[in-house]
Amino acid sequence: MPLVTTKGMFARAYEGGYAVGAFNVNNMEVIQGVLDAVAEKNAPCILQISKGARDYAGMIYLRKIIEAGLEEHPDLELAVHLDHGPTFELAKQCIDDPIFTSVMIDGSHLPLEENIALTKKVVDYAHAHGKVVEAELGRLGGIEEHVKVSEREAFLTDPDEAEYFVEKTGVDSLAVAIGTSHGAYKFKGEPVLAMDLVKELTRRLKGLPLVMHGASSVPQELVEKCNKYGGKLPNARGVPEEMIQEAVKYGICKVNIDTDIRLAITATLREFFHEHPEVFDYRKYLKPAREAVKQMVMHKIDVLGCGGKAVVD
């Protein structure tokens, strides 16, 4: 099946009360692990490529590996998405690239009107080429980091602005700031998300798919394994799975995961090197690392409820 945009998978997720996993990929083993998992679970899937991934692997390699994955698994419902596109030029380059069906333009650091102008420019170009666009409004960051309510509200997505932004840009999905942040250190104290804000945004934006960035759960057994075998990840903490499920129930349709895959690989490799110091055949340790990615993604699919939901023409 050819690559698809996220339109159909989001519409069904929204109606069905589940979410689609969007997984960041940077190399062959991770792409294989993700695609093996979604094929086995018959789940719709979004592969995300950041600017950093493009710089690391090169787009020619990433494109060819994904094409190989589609040949290996012909029955996937798969979208390929630019994650955190920083400029119109990079978004355009990806829209012009047949492997991408979706792009994110991240103007969240800009003043509102500038974010609108940039997003609208990308939306117009993408829609003219049959592709879809995710934008971001608000600044990601743990709620408890900004103690004063006024400061907290300055960072979270504002529902009035969101309504205005969506109307002005015609964007296809919106990444919202609800208290999550990227990486392995999401909360200093107890995890807290602005669930009422998710409900309010869903009510106001009527049918627009909402996206949760920074949605890794940072499983403590992986953090402990990393630390046991020489790692240094003190107080790493993520979004509890029940909170993700609650947010999905209230309207989150796309859940972005990168950190948990990085942790799964790192914990596997650290343990392997500790237990097999004599091994230097990289296939011996990249194979279990790839399997750890697969297991992680299968688990995410269970948490998000998207298993068995792939629709393949």
HEC per residue, 155-183: HCCCHHHHHHHHHHHCCCEEEECCCCCCC
Torsion 283-219-188-216 (CA) sign = positive
Instruction: Determine if 50 is a binding residue for ligand G3H (CB under 6 A).
Output: yes
- Supply 259's token pair: 């950190």
Q: Using CA atoms, how far apart are residues 68 and 105, in angstroms rounded to an integer?
A: 27
**Alpha-carbon Rg for the chain in angstroms:** 19
- With vertex at residue 128, the alpha carbon angle to CA 54 and CA 80, rounded to the nearest 5 degrees, is 30
**In sequence order, what are the beta bridge partners of 136?**
175
For residues 253 and 211, the answer to whether their CB atoms sit within 8 Å is yes
Which member of 12, 84, 300, 309 binds ligand G3H (CB under 6 A)?
84
Give 77 or 258: the residue with its C-beta nearer to ligand 13P. Answer: 258
DSSP string, 105-168: E--TTS-HHHHHHHHHHHHHHHHHTT-EEEEEES----GGGS-SHHHHHHHSPPHHHHHHHHHH
Residues found in the chain: 313
Instruction: Identify which range of 35-43, 48-56, 58-66, 273-281 contacts ligand G3H by CB under 6 A.
Output: 48-56
Identify what 52 binds: ligand G3H, ligand 13P, Zn ion, none; CB under 5 to 8 Å per kind. Answer: ligand G3H
Selected catalytic residue, list 36, 83, 106, 172: 83
Instruction: Identify which range of 35-43, 210-218, 219-227, 305-313 contacts ligand 13P by CB under 6 A.
Output: 210-218
Give 6 or 50: the residue with its C-beta nearer to ligand G3H. Answer: 50
Identify what 36 binds: ligand G3H, Zn ion, ligand 13P, none; CB under 5 to 8 Å per kind. Answer: none
Give 84 or 294: the residue with its C-beta nearer to ligand 13P. Answer: 84
Which member of 108, 202, 256, 266 binds ligand 13P (CB under 6 A)?
256
Give 256 or 268: the residue with its C-beta nearer to ligand 13P. Answer: 256
Give residues with Cβ within 8 angstroms of 22, minimum separation 6. Answer: 45, 46, 47, 48, 81, 83, 211, 254, 255, 256, 257
Instruction: Identify which range of 5-13, 124-132, 211-219, 297-305 contacts ligand 13P by CB under 6 A.
Output: 211-219
Q: Is 260 labeled as catalytic in the residue annotation?
A: no
Taking residues 11 to 30 in sequence order and writing x for each that binds ligand 13P by CB under 6 A, - otherwise, the string is -------------x------
Instruction: Identify which range of 22-30, 73-81, 206-214, 285-293 contacts Zn ion by CB under 5 A.
Output: 206-214
Q: Using CA atoms, how far apart are residues 190 and 223, in angstroms rounded to an integer?
A: 17
Identify what 215 binds: ligand G3H, Zn ion, ligand 13P, none; CB under 5 to 8 Å per kind. Answer: ligand 13P
- Supply 106's token pair: 């991240």
Find the shortest distance in angstroms from Cβ 260 to ligand 13P: 6
Instruction: Determine if 266 is a binding residue for ligand G3H (CB under 6 A).
Output: no
Q: Which residues bind ligand G3H (CB under 6 A)?
A: 24, 50, 52-53, 83-84, 182, 258
Active site residues: 83
